[in-house]
């Protein structure tokens, strides 16, 4: 049995950010559990062709760890994975990592007021637990009749099988979201043909940017102040982008016009252009960035099927529109189980209820971080902590700072979230989201929980607003402690 003050579950951006925040706060008694063989989370698991970030690289990193060596405006996935490995070393976290150590269960021990976490190597007892498991960890596999009978290579984009050579094969791709717009142009270069199944088109704007030169990187390294100014400029651009994503009429119209002009410039065929034009409000779904997707789809190398995949009959893919398409290999670019987090089934709070049961009507919390009925538990990158306009790392850093601050306030006691505070925060989210395209835009998106119809993934505001909201948390979100223990 291992005894620690804080157990962090997950070693992606959130887990590494939390460990770094604890260390800077003077807390050394913690471990970081990671089920895989290395750190990196999303950027370790997603290795499909063309994988890259769609947030500018100099904003997609920790403020304390600027990276002058990014290859370009948008970092490749392998670069981000390597960056996280370097941050672990820079922060001296290697000795706190427990790799290949999955959290199998977590139970609150009411008698001793500690958490017990089951792992393959034994039980860990912790005063507090931080769930930094990420929201894009478990691939969503569509319920398609006959899918299991497909005779050729079949895998999800987040579990790319590099032992399979797709060159010269007829490849089916299901989905036209963020992963698909990156991998389809890459597949189109080498596959015999790509057949792309599109349930609904995405709004796509120009990606722009480009590679940094050696001189650029040398300048960034020699003048850290320049990187600081660049990050600040990128931050301001991201905050300004919130208006177009959240339904500001003028900003949304301007951004939509840009997207339509981009589509018209890259797709000459009117029928294909119509099939690629969304029929829902700009911002309702995640807005994508690409300069290569439309040209690939418009080429002879790709056939767009403007319909969902309905069934599989051997090597034959049958679309919902009745068309049939024979392929040799099938890639599912179908996203993740985002609104129903898999780790929630493993965590049992003080009333014998799992986190999944508590969230049966959609994820709820206070400050997007703490949950009623689960003492001394913190969730990073969970309820309403995602962004549609800027870097999620910014939100992680704010949550980690809040968690470190609250742990200082704990003073050996137990932090129990007042259910009324959680309810009031949830009402704040509902009110702020009510008139946004995410709720009213006429699409089905992964931000909204299908069980309750509430916005449960996105924070319906700017990063500045989130920072201010957490700053207003003064401890009154917790129930008064017995026997005068301060909270």
Q: Model confidence over 253-307: pLDDT tens digits? A: 999 999 999 999 999 999 999 999 999 999 999 999 999 999 999 999 999 999 9
C-alpha closest to that of 27 among 406, 369, 485: 406
What pLDDT was estimated at residue 412? Answer: 78
Task: Write out the DSSP string of 321-376.
Answer: TS-EEE-SEEEE---B--SS-GGGGGEE-TTS-BHHHHTTTS---BTTTB-TT-TT
Q: Kindly tell me the burial class for residue 302, based on how many C-beta atoms sit within 10 Å of its own C-beta (0-12, 13-18, 19 or more).
A: buried
3-class SS at 178? helix
Confidence tier at 349 by pLDDT (50, 70, 90)? very high
| Cβ contact 364:341 at 8 Å | no
Average pLDDT over the chain, rounded to whole?
A: 96
Residue-level pLDDT at 138: 86
Three-state helix/strand/coil letters over 140-177: CCCCCECHHHCCCCEEEHHHCCCCCCCCCCEEEEECCC
Query: How big is the chain, counted in residues?
Result: 487
Count of CB atoms within 10 A of residue 333's CB? 23
pLDDT category at 32 given cuts 50, 70, 90 is very high
| Strand-pair partners of 318 | 311, 324
For residues 339-346, give the mean pLDDT: 90
Query: Is the torsion defined by CA of 325, 326, 327, 332 positive or negative?
Result: positive
Q: How far apart are CA 58 and CA 70, in angstroms?
A: 8
Three-state DSSP at 249 gives helix
485: pLDDT strictly greater than 60: no
Q: How far apart are CA 231 and CA 439, in angstroms?
A: 31
Place of tokens 């963020």: 178
Using CA atoms, how far residue 145 sits from 142, 200, 317, 323, 423, in Å, is: 9, 20, 10, 15, 40
In this prediction, residue 484 carries a pLDDT of 34
Other beta carbons within 10 Å of 440:
14
Instruction: State residue 341's pLDDT score.
Output: 87
Q: Quick one: pLDDT band at residue 311, thresholds 50, 70, 90?
A: very high
β-sheet bridge partners, residue 478: 417
pLDDT of residue 486: 41
Helix, coil or strand: residue 413: coil
Quote the strand ranges of 95-137, DSSP E. 97-98, 105-109, 114-119, 122-131
Nearest to 6 by CA among 160, 134, 124: 124
- Nearest CA to 156 out of 141, 136, 135, 166 is that of 141
Question: What are the φ and ψ backbone dihedral angles of 258, each rounded to 5 degrees?
Answer: -65, -45
**DSSP secondary structure letter of residue 45:** H
Q: What are the tens digits of pLDDT across the range 212-227?
A: 999 999 999 999 999 9
Give the mean pLDDT of 394-415: 93
- Expressed in angstroms, the distance from the first to the final Cα of the chain is 28
- pLDDT tens per residue across span 412-432: 789 999 999 999 999 999 999
Cα angle at 347 between 6 and 44, to 5 degrees? 70
* Stretch 38-62: mean pLDDT: 97
User: pLDDT tens-digit profile of 430-450?
Assistant: 999 999 999 999 999 999 999
For residue 374, give Cα distances in angstroms to 129, 371, 385: 10, 6, 18
- Cα distances (angstroms) measured from residue 368 to each of 112, 126, 423, 424: 27, 22, 12, 12
Neighbour tally for 151: CB within 10 Å: 10
Q: What is the mean pLDDT of residues 157-164?
A: 97
> What's the rounded Cα separation, in Å, for the pair 405 and 420?
21
pLDDT over 50 at 139, yes or no: yes
Q: Is the pLDDT of residue 173 over 70?
A: yes
Q: What is the mean pLDDT of residues 456-479?
A: 97
The pLDDT of residue 482 is 64
pLDDT at 487: 41
The whole-angstrom separation of Cα 286 and Cα 447 is: 9
Query: What pLDDT does 409 receive?
Result: 84
Between CA 465 and CA 467 the distance in angstroms is 5
Structure tokens at 461: 């505001």
For the whole model, what pTM was predicted?
Answer: 0.96
């Amino acid at each position: 049995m291992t005894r620690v003050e804080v157990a962090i579950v997950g070693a992606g951006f959130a887990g590494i950010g939390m460990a770094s925040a604890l260390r800077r706060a003077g807390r050394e008694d913690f471990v970081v559990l990671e089920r895989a063989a290395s750190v990196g989370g999303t950027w370790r698991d997603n290795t499909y062709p063309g994988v890259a970030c769609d947030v500018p690289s100099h904003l997609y990193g920790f403020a304390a760890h600027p990276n002058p060596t990014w290859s370009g405006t948008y970092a490749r996935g392998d670069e981000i994975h390597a960056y996280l490995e370097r941050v672990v070393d820079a922060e001296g976290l290697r000795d706190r990592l427990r790799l290949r150590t999955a959290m199998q269960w977590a139970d609150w021990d009411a008698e001793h007021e500690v958490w017990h976490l089951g792992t393959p190597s034994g039980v860990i007892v912790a005063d507090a637990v931080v769930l930094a498991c990420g929201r894009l960890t478990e691939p969503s596999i569509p319920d398609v009749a006959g899918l299991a009978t497909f005779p050729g290579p079949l895998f999800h984009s987040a579990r790319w099988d590099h032992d399979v050579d797709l060159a010269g094969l007829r490849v089916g791709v299901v989905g036209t979201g963020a992963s698909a717009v990156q991998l389809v142009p890459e597949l189109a270069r080498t596959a015999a043909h790509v057949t792309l199944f599109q349930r609904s088109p995405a709004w796509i704007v120009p990606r722009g940017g480009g590679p940094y030169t050696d001189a650029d990187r040398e300048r960034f390294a020699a003048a850290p102040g320049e990187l600081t100014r660049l990050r600040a400029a990128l931050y301001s651009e991201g905050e300004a982008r919130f208006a177009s994503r959240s339904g500001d009429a003028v900003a949304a119209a301007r951004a939509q016009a840009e997207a339509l002009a981009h589509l018209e410039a890259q797709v000459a065929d009117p029928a294909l252009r119509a099939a690629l034009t969304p029929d829902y409000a700009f911002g309702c779904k995640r807005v994508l960035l690409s300069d290569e997707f439309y040209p690939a789809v418009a080429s002879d190398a790709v056939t767009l099927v403007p319909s969902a995949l309905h069934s599989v009959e051997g090597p034959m893919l049958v679309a919902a529109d009745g068309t049939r398409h024979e392929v040799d290999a099938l890639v599912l670019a179908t996203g993740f189980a985002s609104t129903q987090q898999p780790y929630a089934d493993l965590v049992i709070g003080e009333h014998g209820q799992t986190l999944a049961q508590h969230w049966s009507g959609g994820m709820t919390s206070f400050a997007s971080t703490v949950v009623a009925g689960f003492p001394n538990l913190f969730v990073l990158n969970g309820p309403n902590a995602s962004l549609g306009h800027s870097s999620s790392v910014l939100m992680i850093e704010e949550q980690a700072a809040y968690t470190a601050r609250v742990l200082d306030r704990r003073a050996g006691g137990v932090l129990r979230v007042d259910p009324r505070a959680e309810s009031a925060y949830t009402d704040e989210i509902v009110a702020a989201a009510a008139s946004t395209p995410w709720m009213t835009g006429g699409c089905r998106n992964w931000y909204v929980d299908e069980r309750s119809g509430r916005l449960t993934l996105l924070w319906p505001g700017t990063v500045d607003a989130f920072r201010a909201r957490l700053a207003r948390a003064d401890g009154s979100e917790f129930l008064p402690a017995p026997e005068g223990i301060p909270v």
